[in-house]
Amino acid sequence: MNNTFIDNFLDIVDMIEYLERKKEESKNKAVKEELERQIRYLERQLRDMNDLEIPKEEISNDFDKFTFDKHINNDIEITTSQENDNDSTETNSQYEKIDDFKNGLAKVKLNNKYGFVDKNDNLVIEIIYDEISDFCEGLARVKLNNKYGFVDKDNNIAIEIIYDDANDFFGTLAKVRLNNKWGFIDKNGNIVIEIIYDDISDFFEGVAKIRINDKLGYINKAGKILIEPIFDEISNFDEHDFMRVNLNNKHGFIDKNSNFYDDVGDFINGLARVKINDKWGFINPNGSIAIALQYDEAGDFNYQGLAKVKINDKWGIIDKSGKFYNEKLYYNPY
Protein backbone atom coordinates (compact mmCIF):
# COMPACT_ATOMS: atom_id res chain seq x y z
CA MET A 1 0.00 0.00 0.00
CA ASN A 2 1.55 3.30 -1.08
CA ASN A 3 2.00 6.43 1.04
CA THR A 4 -0.51 8.45 -1.02
CA PHE A 5 -3.26 5.93 -0.28
CA ILE A 6 -2.39 5.96 3.43
CA ASP A 7 -2.34 9.78 3.51
CA ASN A 8 -5.72 9.97 1.78
CA PHE A 9 -7.19 7.41 4.18
CA LEU A 10 -5.90 9.37 7.19
CA ASP A 11 -7.19 12.66 5.72
CA ILE A 12 -10.70 11.22 5.66
CA VAL A 13 -10.33 9.95 9.24
CA ASP A 14 -9.22 13.44 10.31
CA MET A 15 -12.19 15.04 8.54
CA ILE A 16 -14.62 12.66 10.26
CA GLU A 17 -13.15 13.65 13.64
CA TYR A 18 -13.43 17.34 12.68
CA LEU A 19 -17.09 16.96 11.64
CA GLU A 20 -17.84 15.04 14.85
CA ARG A 21 -16.48 17.99 16.86
CA LYS A 22 -18.53 20.46 14.83
CA LYS A 23 -21.67 18.39 15.34
CA GLU A 24 -21.05 18.27 19.08
CA GLU A 25 -20.53 22.04 19.21
CA SER A 26 -23.53 23.00 17.07
CA LYS A 27 -26.86 23.81 18.73
CA ASN A 28 -28.72 23.95 15.39
CA LYS A 29 -30.70 20.76 14.73
CA ALA A 30 -30.56 21.12 10.93
CA VAL A 31 -26.79 21.67 11.01
CA LYS A 32 -26.34 18.63 13.25
CA GLU A 33 -28.36 16.49 10.86
CA GLU A 34 -26.36 17.69 7.85
CA LEU A 35 -23.05 17.03 9.61
CA GLU A 36 -24.26 13.54 10.54
CA ARG A 37 -25.07 12.85 6.86
CA GLN A 38 -21.59 13.98 5.87
CA ILE A 39 -20.01 11.78 8.53
CA ARG A 40 -21.97 8.75 7.39
CA TYR A 41 -20.96 9.36 3.78
CA LEU A 42 -17.26 9.60 4.68
CA GLU A 43 -17.49 6.45 6.77
CA ARG A 44 -18.81 4.66 3.69
CA GLN A 45 -15.80 5.94 1.73
CA LEU A 46 -13.45 4.45 4.32
CA ARG A 47 -15.21 1.10 4.00
CA ASP A 48 -14.96 1.33 0.22
CA MET A 49 -11.22 2.03 0.45
CA ASN A 50 -10.82 -1.15 2.46
CA ASP A 51 -12.98 -3.24 0.14
CA LEU A 52 -12.19 -2.08 -3.38
CA GLU A 53 -9.76 -4.18 -5.38
CA ILE A 54 -8.86 -1.52 -7.95
CA PRO A 55 -5.36 -0.08 -8.36
CA LYS A 56 -4.48 2.37 -5.62
CA GLU A 57 -3.70 5.04 -8.21
CA GLU A 58 -7.38 5.07 -9.18
CA ILE A 59 -8.43 5.39 -5.55
CA SER A 60 -6.13 8.33 -4.99
CA ASN A 61 -7.83 10.16 -7.88
CA ASP A 62 -11.14 9.95 -5.99
CA PHE A 63 -9.60 10.63 -2.58
CA ASP A 64 -7.14 13.33 -3.52
CA LYS A 65 -5.28 14.71 -0.50
CA PHE A 66 -6.42 18.17 -1.55
CA THR A 67 -10.16 17.50 -1.79
CA PHE A 68 -10.24 14.51 0.62
CA ASP A 69 -13.46 13.52 -1.14
CA LYS A 70 -15.13 15.27 -4.02
CA HIS A 71 -18.59 14.36 -2.73
CA ILE A 72 -18.10 15.31 0.96
CA ASN A 73 -20.99 17.77 1.06
CA ASN A 74 -23.46 15.81 -1.06
CA ASP A 75 -26.80 14.77 0.44
CA ILE A 76 -26.73 11.35 2.09
CA GLU A 77 -29.29 10.07 -0.45
CA ILE A 78 -26.65 10.42 -3.17
CA THR A 79 -25.34 6.90 -3.75
CA THR A 80 -22.89 5.20 -6.04
CA SER A 81 -24.14 2.75 -8.63
CA GLN A 82 -22.64 -0.05 -6.56
CA GLU A 83 -24.66 0.97 -3.50
CA ASN A 84 -27.83 1.25 -5.59
CA ASP A 85 -27.25 -2.26 -6.91
CA ASN A 86 -27.00 -3.57 -3.37
CA ASP A 87 -30.26 -1.83 -2.38
CA SER A 88 -32.18 -2.85 -5.49
CA THR A 89 -34.96 -5.40 -5.54
CA GLU A 90 -36.46 -7.36 -8.43
CA THR A 91 -40.03 -6.05 -8.26
CA ASN A 92 -40.82 -5.78 -11.95
CA SER A 93 -39.59 -8.22 -14.60
CA GLN A 94 -39.87 -5.44 -17.17
CA TYR A 95 -36.67 -3.92 -15.79
CA GLU A 96 -33.22 -5.38 -15.31
CA LYS A 97 -33.10 -3.65 -11.97
CA ILE A 98 -35.24 -1.39 -9.80
CA ASP A 99 -34.04 0.42 -6.68
CA ASP A 100 -35.98 1.13 -3.53
CA PHE A 101 -38.41 4.02 -3.70
CA LYS A 102 -37.24 7.38 -2.36
CA ASN A 103 -39.66 10.28 -2.17
CA GLY A 104 -42.07 8.41 -4.42
CA LEU A 105 -39.61 7.53 -7.17
CA ALA A 106 -37.44 4.52 -7.93
CA LYS A 107 -34.44 4.33 -10.23
CA VAL A 108 -34.76 1.65 -12.92
CA LYS A 109 -32.33 0.05 -15.33
CA LEU A 110 -33.18 -1.28 -18.78
CA ASN A 111 -30.70 -2.16 -21.54
CA ASN A 112 -27.93 -0.58 -19.45
CA LYS A 113 -29.79 2.74 -19.38
CA TYR A 114 -31.33 4.45 -16.34
CA GLY A 115 -34.47 6.43 -15.56
CA PHE A 116 -37.15 6.78 -12.85
CA VAL A 117 -40.65 5.38 -12.31
CA ASP A 118 -43.31 6.26 -9.74
CA LYS A 119 -45.16 3.80 -7.51
CA ASN A 120 -47.79 3.23 -10.19
CA ASP A 121 -45.05 2.12 -12.57
CA ASN A 122 -45.47 5.28 -14.64
CA LEU A 123 -42.29 6.39 -16.38
CA VAL A 124 -41.27 9.73 -14.85
CA ILE A 125 -37.75 10.11 -16.24
CA GLU A 126 -37.01 8.48 -19.59
CA ILE A 127 -34.74 5.44 -19.46
CA ILE A 128 -32.09 6.92 -21.74
CA TYR A 129 -29.23 7.89 -19.44
CA ASP A 130 -25.89 6.15 -18.94
CA GLU A 131 -25.92 7.26 -15.29
CA ILE A 132 -28.44 9.03 -13.09
CA SER A 133 -28.25 10.06 -9.45
CA ASP A 134 -31.07 10.28 -6.94
CA PHE A 135 -32.86 13.61 -6.83
CA CYS A 136 -31.12 16.15 -4.63
CA GLU A 137 -32.45 19.67 -4.15
CA GLY A 138 -35.06 18.89 -6.81
CA LEU A 139 -32.59 17.91 -9.54
CA ALA A 140 -30.97 14.64 -10.61
CA ARG A 141 -27.51 14.50 -12.16
CA VAL A 142 -27.44 12.56 -15.44
CA LYS A 143 -24.75 11.28 -17.77
CA LEU A 144 -25.33 10.93 -21.50
CA ASN A 145 -22.64 10.34 -24.12
CA ASN A 146 -19.91 10.99 -21.53
CA LYS A 147 -21.34 14.41 -20.60
CA TYR A 148 -23.15 15.47 -17.42
CA GLY A 149 -26.13 17.70 -16.77
CA PHE A 150 -29.30 17.79 -14.65
CA VAL A 151 -32.98 16.93 -15.09
CA ASP A 152 -35.99 17.92 -12.99
CA LYS A 153 -38.88 15.71 -11.86
CA ASP A 154 -40.96 16.77 -14.88
CA ASN A 155 -38.43 15.08 -17.18
CA ASN A 156 -37.11 18.45 -18.37
CA ILE A 157 -33.42 19.03 -18.93
CA ALA A 158 -32.89 21.69 -16.28
CA ILE A 159 -29.17 22.20 -16.96
CA GLU A 160 -27.60 21.34 -20.29
CA ILE A 161 -25.73 18.05 -20.53
CA ILE A 162 -22.40 19.64 -21.45
CA TYR A 163 -20.05 19.03 -18.52
CA ASP A 164 -17.18 16.55 -18.33
CA ASP A 165 -18.02 15.82 -14.69
CA ALA A 166 -20.42 17.12 -12.07
CA ASN A 167 -21.36 16.67 -8.43
CA ASP A 168 -24.92 16.69 -7.13
CA PHE A 169 -26.36 19.93 -5.83
CA PHE A 170 -25.73 20.78 -2.21
CA GLY A 171 -27.78 23.78 -1.17
CA THR A 172 -27.84 26.05 -4.21
CA LEU A 173 -24.55 25.03 -5.83
CA ALA A 174 -23.11 22.10 -7.75
CA LYS A 175 -19.47 21.56 -8.66
CA VAL A 176 -18.82 20.99 -12.37
CA ARG A 177 -15.79 20.26 -14.57
CA LEU A 178 -15.31 21.50 -18.13
CA ASN A 179 -12.10 21.23 -20.17
CA ASN A 180 -10.25 19.93 -17.11
CA LYS A 181 -11.20 22.96 -15.01
CA TRP A 182 -13.60 23.11 -12.05
CA GLY A 183 -16.12 25.68 -10.86
CA PHE A 184 -19.68 25.95 -9.50
CA ILE A 185 -23.10 26.51 -11.09
CA ASP A 186 -26.49 27.36 -9.56
CA LYS A 187 -29.81 25.60 -10.18
CA ASN A 188 -30.47 27.76 -13.23
CA GLY A 189 -27.19 26.66 -14.80
CA ASN A 190 -25.55 30.04 -14.20
CA ILE A 191 -21.82 29.94 -13.49
CA VAL A 192 -21.41 31.22 -9.94
CA ILE A 193 -17.74 30.32 -9.43
CA GLU A 194 -15.71 30.58 -12.63
CA ILE A 195 -14.68 27.26 -14.15
CA ILE A 196 -10.97 28.07 -14.00
CA TYR A 197 -9.55 25.92 -11.21
CA ASP A 198 -7.48 22.77 -11.58
CA ASP A 199 -9.36 21.48 -8.54
CA ILE A 200 -11.76 22.88 -5.99
CA SER A 201 -13.30 21.43 -2.85
CA ASP A 202 -16.95 21.69 -1.89
CA PHE A 203 -17.78 24.68 0.27
CA PHE A 204 -17.57 24.15 3.99
CA GLU A 205 -18.41 26.94 6.43
CA GLY A 206 -18.46 29.38 3.52
CA VAL A 207 -15.02 28.67 2.05
CA ALA A 208 -13.60 26.29 -0.57
CA LYS A 209 -10.05 25.18 -1.19
CA ILE A 210 -8.71 25.83 -4.71
CA ARG A 211 -5.75 24.55 -6.71
CA ILE A 212 -4.10 26.38 -9.61
CA ASN A 213 -0.83 25.17 -11.12
CA ASP A 214 -0.29 22.89 -8.12
CA LYS A 215 -0.60 25.81 -5.69
CA LEU A 216 -3.35 25.97 -3.06
CA GLY A 217 -5.50 28.72 -1.62
CA TYR A 218 -9.08 29.54 -0.57
CA ILE A 219 -12.08 31.39 -2.00
CA ASN A 220 -15.46 32.38 -0.54
CA LYS A 221 -18.92 31.76 -2.07
CA ALA A 222 -18.73 35.06 -3.95
CA GLY A 223 -15.63 33.74 -5.75
CA LYS A 224 -13.37 36.20 -3.94
CA ILE A 225 -9.84 34.99 -3.21
CA LEU A 226 -9.42 34.80 0.57
CA ILE A 227 -6.04 33.08 0.57
CA GLU A 228 -3.94 33.48 -2.58
CA PRO A 229 -3.14 30.12 -4.24
CA ILE A 230 0.60 30.24 -3.56
CA PHE A 231 1.05 27.39 -1.07
CA ASP A 232 2.38 23.89 -1.70
CA GLU A 233 0.30 22.46 1.15
CA ILE A 234 -2.55 23.96 3.11
CA SER A 235 -4.81 22.57 5.83
CA ASN A 236 -8.38 23.42 6.74
CA PHE A 237 -8.94 26.29 9.15
CA ASP A 238 -8.79 25.12 12.76
CA GLU A 239 -11.08 26.24 15.57
CA HIS A 240 -8.91 29.36 16.05
CA ASP A 241 -9.06 30.29 12.32
CA PHE A 242 -5.43 29.34 11.69
CA MET A 243 -4.32 26.94 8.99
CA ARG A 244 -1.05 25.10 8.62
CA VAL A 245 0.77 25.84 5.35
CA ASN A 246 3.90 24.90 3.45
CA LEU A 247 5.51 27.42 1.10
CA ASN A 248 8.75 26.44 -0.64
CA ASN A 249 9.48 23.97 2.17
CA LYS A 250 8.90 26.64 4.81
CA HIS A 251 6.19 25.49 7.21
CA GLY A 252 4.07 27.90 9.17
CA PHE A 253 0.57 29.22 9.79
CA ILE A 254 -1.70 31.85 8.27
CA ASP A 255 -4.93 33.43 9.47
CA LYS A 256 -7.96 34.50 7.42
CA ASN A 257 -6.26 37.85 6.78
CA SER A 258 -3.35 35.99 5.10
CA ASN A 259 -0.92 37.00 7.85
CA PHE A 260 1.93 34.47 7.90
CA TYR A 261 3.46 33.16 11.14
CA ASP A 262 6.34 30.80 11.76
CA ASP A 263 4.49 29.37 14.75
CA VAL A 264 1.32 30.02 16.73
CA GLY A 265 -0.22 29.16 20.07
CA ASP A 266 -3.84 28.85 21.13
CA PHE A 267 -6.15 31.75 21.83
CA ILE A 268 -6.45 31.86 25.61
CA ASN A 269 -8.00 34.75 27.46
CA GLY A 270 -8.42 36.60 24.17
CA LEU A 271 -4.80 36.49 22.96
CA ALA A 272 -2.62 34.04 21.02
CA ARG A 273 1.16 33.94 20.88
CA VAL A 274 2.73 34.10 17.42
CA LYS A 275 6.26 33.89 16.06
CA ILE A 276 7.80 35.74 13.12
CA ASN A 277 11.53 35.80 12.33
CA ASP A 278 12.45 34.16 15.66
CA LYS A 279 10.55 36.72 17.76
CA TRP A 280 7.37 36.09 19.70
CA GLY A 281 4.47 38.41 20.43
CA PHE A 282 0.69 38.24 20.82
CA ILE A 283 -2.27 38.93 18.51
CA ASN A 284 -5.98 39.58 18.96
CA PRO A 285 -8.62 37.31 17.37
CA ASN A 286 -8.93 39.77 14.44
CA GLY A 287 -5.23 39.27 13.65
CA SER A 288 -4.02 42.66 14.90
CA ILE A 289 -0.87 42.84 17.03
CA ALA A 290 -1.72 43.16 20.72
CA ILE A 291 1.82 42.86 22.14
CA ALA A 292 4.82 43.51 19.90
CA LEU A 293 6.92 40.61 18.62
CA GLN A 294 9.97 41.17 20.81
CA TYR A 295 10.47 38.03 22.89
CA ASP A 296 12.91 35.18 22.32
CA GLU A 297 10.34 32.76 23.74
CA ALA A 298 6.81 33.09 25.08
CA GLY A 299 4.17 30.93 26.69
CA ASP A 300 0.40 31.11 26.29
CA PHE A 301 -1.54 33.40 28.58
CA ASN A 302 -3.15 31.60 31.49
CA TYR A 303 -6.68 32.21 32.67
CA GLN A 304 -5.43 34.77 35.15
CA GLY A 305 -4.17 36.86 32.23
CA LEU A 306 -0.43 36.23 32.75
CA ALA A 307 2.20 34.79 30.38
CA LYS A 308 5.86 33.95 30.73
CA VAL A 309 8.31 35.51 28.26
CA LYS A 310 12.05 35.33 27.67
CA ILE A 311 14.41 38.15 26.66
CA ASN A 312 18.19 37.79 26.47
CA ASP A 313 18.22 34.47 28.33
CA LYS A 314 16.08 35.86 31.16
CA TRP A 315 12.46 35.09 31.92
CA GLY A 316 9.71 37.30 33.23
CA ILE A 317 5.93 37.43 33.52
CA ILE A 318 3.75 39.90 31.63
CA ASP A 319 0.08 40.84 31.79
CA LYS A 320 -2.25 41.28 28.80
CA SER A 321 -1.11 44.87 28.27
CA GLY A 322 2.48 43.68 27.84
CA LYS A 323 3.65 45.14 31.17
CA PHE A 324 5.84 43.03 33.38
CA TYR A 325 3.99 41.62 36.34
CA ASN A 326 6.90 42.88 38.43
CA GLU A 327 10.13 44.58 37.51
CA LYS A 328 12.35 41.55 38.05
CA LEU A 329 13.55 39.25 35.35
CA TYR A 330 14.37 35.70 36.27
CA TYR A 331 16.51 32.95 34.80
CA ASN A 332 13.53 30.69 35.41
CA PRO A 333 9.96 31.99 35.61
CA TYR A 334 9.01 29.67 38.49
pLDDT of residue 50: 60
Residue 127 lies in a domain: yes
Confidence of residue 57 (pLDDT cuts 50, 70, 90): very low
pLDDT of residue 63: 36
> Are residues 90 and 157 located together in one domain of the fold?
yes
pLDDT greater than 60 at residue 98: yes
pLDDT of residue 135: 92
> Are residues 278 and 257 located together in one domain of the fold?
no
Overall average pLDDT of the 182-186 stretch: 97
> Are residues 246 and 268 located together in one domain of the fold?
no
Indicate the number of domains in the chain: 4
> Which residue in 143, 181, 182, 134 sits closest to 162, CA to CA?
143
pLDDT greater than 60 at residue 72: no
| Pairwise CA distance, residues 66 & 241, whole Å | 19
Confidence of residue 259 (pLDDT cuts 50, 70, 90): confident
The number of beta carbons lying within 10 Å of the beta carbon of residue 277 is: 6
| Pairwise CA distance, residues 197 & 210, whole Å | 7
Confidence of residue 133 (pLDDT cuts 50, 70, 90): very high
pTM beyond cutoff 0.95: no
Domain boundary among 170, 191, 213: 170
Overall average pLDDT of the 265-280 stretch: 88
Confidence of residue 235 (pLDDT cuts 50, 70, 90): confident
Domain at 151, CATH number: 2.20.25
Overall average pLDDT of the 32-45 stretch: 78
Reported as a single tens digit per residue, the pLDDT across 283-316 is 988 888 999 999 999 999 988 888 999 998 888 8
Question: For the chain, what percent of residues have pLDDT higher than 70?
Answer: 80
pLDDT greater than 90 at residue 325: no
**Beta-sheet strands, E only, within 44-172:** 97-98, 105-110, 113-118, 123-129, 131-132, 140-144, 147-151, 157-163, 165-166
> Are residues 267 and 254 located together in one domain of the fold?
no
Overall average pLDDT of the 270-274 stretch: 89
